[in-house]
Amino acid sequence: VVGRRGTMPTLFLPLSRLARSGSGVGKLLARCTALHPPGGTGVSEKCQPAYRNLTSPAQLSTAGMSTSSADGDLTSWLWSVYNETKRQTEDLIPAISNNFVNPDTIFSNNEMSLQDIEIYGFDYDYTLAFYSSNLHTLIFNIARDILIQEHRYPEGLKEYEYIPDFVVRGLHYDVQKALLMKIDAFHYIQLGTVYRGLHPVSDKEVIAMYEGCHVPLEIMSDFYGKSSHGHTMKQFMDIFSLPEMTLLSCVNDYFMKHNIDYEPVHLYKDVKEAIGDVHVRGIMYRAVEADIEKYICYGEQTHAVLRKLSENGKKMFLITNSPLDFVDRGMNYIVGKDWRDLFDVVIVQADKPSFFNDRRKPFRRVTDKGVLLWDRIHHLEKGQIYKQGNLYEFLRLTGWRGSKVLYFGDHIYSDLADLTLKHGWRTGAIIPELRKEIKIMNTEEYVHTMTWLQSLTNLLEHMQVHRDAASQAVIQHWVKEREDMRSQAKDIFNPQFGSLFRTYHNPTYFSRRLSRFADIYMASISCLLNYDLQHTFYPRRTPLQHEAPFWPEQTSAGAMNIPFQSTRAGSE
């Protein structure tokens, strides 16, 4: 829920932070520690007063009880602790449910103040221009038909339509094995998320193929997520890749269903080429231009952001790989015919990420009719359009260097990585999927599942010290319940691949790179409307594994469930 005008939305407190704030969850975790202290016996005075100093059937037997009796008592005690923990967790869920995440929040990986930002840069596609799901259907259908008509793929592929919710961004594709999968930040495959075609591959088969779940560094994708120079994995990082992954899966499915022998490497290259042709030949651009209202969304919000920055005296520039006609048509729809007046520099067909690394390509000026001029560029002038070029020449001509520049893009590698690693610009990632995932996180089902999952995991961690057979049988019941709940939590986001950001408890490969290459991230550029241009973004301080889980600053307004004031655009 968005906060009232002039008020920043209330932010979300995860379970661990609620614990630190002294709330009911803190009492629950303190209670769990009392029930089963770390490194201790795990026996609570309240739950097991008669045997509080006894931890094993052998000790119970020494006290004059038979082993079977001791087993039974310890087993009963384990279940009593389980039931008490579950009861207290259930009691706290209503309170936890009120600590929601606002989908319009800007999240910070690195401390950054907008007061220091003088120049704002933008990508175009999925940054200034947001597209409806109709665009993915269009790309899928055109590329599928190119495969049939130009690459002589079977006519039967026409039976396949685009499946909007089949894949998520950030997946890896093993080109040689024709497998689509999700990999975590430590290069481990998340079992249950490996697909050949439209069907899952069994855990046993995955483990046999990869001799475990780990993917060695040498076969992972290269720095930009591509499968090149011997890398057999391709990572799909941009939003335009969703129809490409779906088409790969559908063609694989067709070949397997009809027992057709094929070379996976050829299939990957053909699909990649067909998807590329949709862009390179201008087919997609012409279709969008012909029915722009069908494809572009949220135009008014983008216009409001640009107007706000302009009214506050900020310089702005646009660097996009898209062609002039396409950008011009879209920006006319989003902003109006005078859209160029808002930008100090406009660069089209920049060929990112090469734009950020290749010093050889000079800028060329483009006329309104798309004619390329041959004169040398000595200045990047407002109102003019430039093509290609490179970042080094851009820096020389503008002097826009370092942390006074903030650039927004949706592709973590092509848009953001080089800028933050090599040039010191501040970076903002646009992650449209955030809005959907946060709404799921705010549901009672998700809160219930994750709260009990955390409590159960804590229970397992402390109770594993009981190594007798009877206790271990109880522990295995809990382990099975935990595994089932982890699968349920995955399915809430996407039945095939789960959340974009997590592989069970670990960050995904995508998420780790997001945290490295983006200072801030948000669902859309419109989130800037919730903040004044002096706002400082502070990353949440979460304890490292070896640090105590209590921080004095967790009691500040930023950590508690307390709204705070912030000037909104137009409310000064």
Annotated binding-site ranges: 123, 125, 410
Nearest-angstrom CA–CA distance, 170 and 510:
5
Pick from 410, 512, 434: nearest CA to 106: 434
- Binding residues for GMP, by number, are 125
Report yes or no: 571 and 5 within 8 Å, Cβ to Cβ.
Answer: yes
Q: Which long-range contacts (CB under 8 A, 24 or more apart) does 65-72 make?
A: 71/468, 71/469, 71/470, 71/471, 72/470
Residue 460 tokens read as 């397992």
- Residue 372 is given by DSSP the state B
Nearest-angstrom CA–CA distance, 472 and 487:
22
Q: What is the DSSP string of 451-506?
A: HHHHHHHHHHHHHTT--SHHHHHHHHHHHHHHHHHHHHHHHHH-TTT--SSEETTE
Element (H, E) at 200: strand 199-200
Catalytic positions, written as ranges? 123, 125
Element (H, E) at 88: helix 67-97
Buried/exposed 183-198: b ≥16 CB within 10 Å, e otherwise: bbbebbbbbbbbbbbb
Place of tokens 């027992």: 259
